[in-house]
C-alpha cells in the first residue's frame, strides 16, 4: 500500500466459519466507544446457536493506520467460540480461520483503480455512510495464512454421567425451593 493511503479506506474481509461468531451487541458497544468499525453480513446473528446449526459469517472490518509501523494497519474484533458436539476422543475441536482479504476503497479521492481487482462487496466506505462504494482487492503479505483455534468440547463417553448428575441436581434444587415455599410462603 505504500506509506500513505491517499484518502482511501482500508478494510479486511474476514470469513468466519460456523465454529466462531461476533456478538453484534458487543460490536455495537465497541463502535459507540469508537474502538472498532465493522459491518456484519448477515447482520442478524443467533449467538446461542451451536456450531452444527450456525452458518458462516462475513465481516468487513475497517482498519486504522498503525502509529507504531509505517504502512501498517490494524483493527480489533472480538470473536467467541460456539458450543460443539461432544467428541469421541479429543477434548477440543479445531476451528480454522482463513487469512483475511484486504480491500481498499478510494471513494473520496480520484485515484485510478485500473490495476486493482474489483471485489464483490457492497458496504459503505467509512462504515458510517449508508450508500455502498466500490471496493478493490489488493495483494498483501499475511502474517499467517490461517489461524487454528482450539475450542474445548466435552467427551461423548461422559454424557450419561453428565445427564445423571444434572437430573440429581435439578431434583435436589427443586425440592429445596419447594420446601422453602411451603415453609415461608404466604398463601391467601
pLDDT above 70 covers what percent of the chain?
80
Tell me, yes or no, whether 170 and 141 share the same domain.
no
To the question of pTM greater than 0.75 for the whole model, the response is no
Residue 177 has pLDDT above 80, yes or no: yes
Residue 57 near residue 42 (C-beta atoms within 8 A): yes
* Residue-wise pLDDT tens digits, 154-170: 888 998 999 999 999 99
* Residue-wise pLDDT tens digits, 79-98: 999 999 888 888 888 899 88
Tell me, yes or no, whether 54 and 126 share the same domain.
yes
* Residue-wise pLDDT tens digits, 137-148: 777 766 667 888
The answer as to whether 2 is a domain residue is no
Residue 154 Cα distances to 47, 54, 55, 90, angstroms = 20, 19, 22, 8
Tell me, yes or no, whether 115 and 164 share the same domain.
no
Tell me, yes or no, whether 150 and 160 share the same domain.
no
Tell me, yes or no, whether 135 and 160 share the same domain.
no
Number of structural domains in the chain: 2
Return the pLDDT at 1.
43
Amino acid at each position: 500500500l505504500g506509506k500513505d493511503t491517499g484518502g482511501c479506506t482500508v478494510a479486511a474481509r474476514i470469513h468466519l466459519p460456523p465454529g466462531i461468531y461476533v456478538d453484534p451487541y458487543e460490536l455495537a458497544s465497541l463502535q459507540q466507544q469508537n474502538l472498532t468499525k465493522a459491518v456484519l453480513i448477515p447482520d442478524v446473528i443467533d449467538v446461542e446457536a451451536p456450531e452444527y446449526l450456525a452458518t458462516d459469517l462475513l465481516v468487513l472490518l475497517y482498519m486504522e493506520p498503525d502509529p507504531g509501523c509505517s504502512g501498517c494497519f490494524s483493527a480489533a474484533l472480538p470473536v467467541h467460540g460456539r458450543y460443539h458436539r461432544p467428541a469421541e476422543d479429543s477434548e477440543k475441536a479445531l476451528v480454522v480461520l482463513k487469512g483475511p482479504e484486504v480491500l481498499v476503497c478510494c471513494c473520496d479521492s480520484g485515484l485510478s483503480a485500473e490495476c486493482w481487482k474489483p471485489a464483490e462487496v457492497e458496504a459503505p466506505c467509512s462504515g458510517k455512510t449508508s450508500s455502498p462504494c466500490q471496493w478493490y482487492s489488493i495483494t498483501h503479505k499475511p502474517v499467517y495464512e490461517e489461524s487454528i483455534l482450539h475450542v474445548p468440547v466435552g467427551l461423548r463417553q461422559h454424557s450419561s454421567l453428565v445427564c445423571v448428575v444434572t437430573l440429581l441436581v435439578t431434583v435436589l434444587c427443586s425440592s429445596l425451593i419447594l420446601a422453602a415455599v411451603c415453609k415461608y410462603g404466604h398463601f391467601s
